[in-house]
Structures are given as C-alpha cells and as structure tokens.
Amino acid sequence: MTGQHNTSHEHRAYLPAMGKQWLLPLYDPFARFVGIKRVHEKLLDRANIRPGQRVLEIGCGTGDLLQTLKRRYPDVSALGIDPDPSALRRARRKAARAKLRIQYERAFADDLPLPDGSFDRVLSSFMLHHIDEEEWTRVLREVKRVLRPGGELHVADLDGTLPGQEGGHAHHSGQTADSLPDRALSALVDAGLTGVRENGYGRARLGRYVFYRADVG
C-alpha cells in the first residue's frame, strides 16, 4: 500500500463497532444473530465484481464482508480499512484461519492513505451511520478520489425510515426534514459521484436497510 498514514490518526476519536470497545467480542455473534451475512451477500450481488479487480472496504470492522468477497471471488485484491486496531486484529486472525489473502490497514475513511484512481470497487456495510452527517460528503469525496474511471461504490446501511413511511422517503405529511436515504443520496451527489441511486431494500433483525450505488464517470 502506498501513501503515508497521518500521524494524527493515533489520537483521533472513533466510534467502535459495538459503540464501546469492551463490547467488541460480542460483535461477531451479534452480526450473525441479526443476519449481516445475508446483507453482505446481497451487497456483493449488486457490486458487479470481476476477477482481477481491486476492492476496498471502508469501515471493515472485523472483516466479514471481505471474507465473503474472497470466498466468492478468490482472484480479486481486497483491502479493508478501519480506525479500530482491535477490530483489525480480529479481522487479520479470522482471515489467517480461513486462509484468505486479505489486507487490513488502519485508516480513517475521510483521509485514505491511498493513491488516486487505485480501486475498481469501494464497498461499505453499515458504516455510514457511524459518521456524523456533516462528514459524509468529505468521506465520499475520498471514495471518489480512490476509484478508477468506471469504478463503483456500493453501500448498505440502515434506512432510518419511520414506521408508516415505507412507501417512500421524502416529505410525508408532517415530515419537514428529508429522510436518511434522501440525505445519503444528496451527499453522494455532492461528492461528485455519478449514477447515484438507491439499489434495493431489505429487512433484518436490526431493522430496515437500504442499498446505494454510485460510480465515477
């Protein structure tokens, strides 16, 4: 991997996968319970991945999505980044046990130590809602920077739609603010990505979720 880590990363705050660092051992059992693997399969179904491509996951946590990716597409190059060293250690151990060649590095999604135009696909699974909305556009601009022309971003995240709003997201009676999907789509557009759209929905034990996709022209 090229580029230099920002030394200020050592002191930056971040939200651990389970909200509290001591809860990290519960993350994988929780993910299994709520059905995250099925969401990962659906995300990869949408990602148009081909052999030989370079794939980056931002906010990889303990590495389950990239393990699913490598089992399905053994010939891709996979890199996961996350700010949590403890989660990354777990991800590396799991990949080693499974004999899967996956690279994991510590980094923040808004400051990727990666060259311009170096990935064919960027994936994100239930990471966006961990970031303050004011930071979304900055993160997504970094995604755009590291994607090659013709590259694609594929995201799965919580929908946030209130009960009774499932038929649509925008400006229901009595609703003055845009829904979470509306705001996510706006951030994707503001970041300069093209082909921005919602790409399906689902429901799991953790609630309703939505897929997004965007690309670099």
CA–CA dist 26, 123 (Å, integer): 23
Checking if the pLDDT of 163 tops 80, the result is no
The residue ranges of every structural domain in the chain are: 7-215
Contact assessment for residue 119 and residue 148, using Cβ atoms and an 8 Å cutoff: yes
User: pLDDT category, 195, cuts 50, 70, 90?
Assistant: very high
CA distances (Å), 20 to each of 24, 30, 58, 64, in order? Answer: 7, 14, 19, 19
Checking if the pLDDT of 41 tops 90, the result is yes
The fold for domain 7-215 equals Rossmann fold (3.40.50)
Mean pLDDT, residues 198-204 taken together: 91
Which helix (H) or strand (E) segment holds residue 104: the answer is strand 103-106
Whole-number pLDDT of residue 89: 94
Whole-number pLDDT of residue 23: 58
Other beta carbons less than 10 A from residue 168's beta carbon: 10
pLDDT, tens digit (0-9, with 9 covering 90-100), for 121-136: 999 999 888 788 999 9
pLDDT, tens digit (0-9, with 9 covering 90-100), for 75-94: 999 999 999 999 999 999 99
3-state secondary structure 134-200: HHHHHHHHHHHHHEEEEEEEEEEEECCCCCCCCCCCCCCCCCCCCCHHHHHHHHHHHCCCEEEEEEE
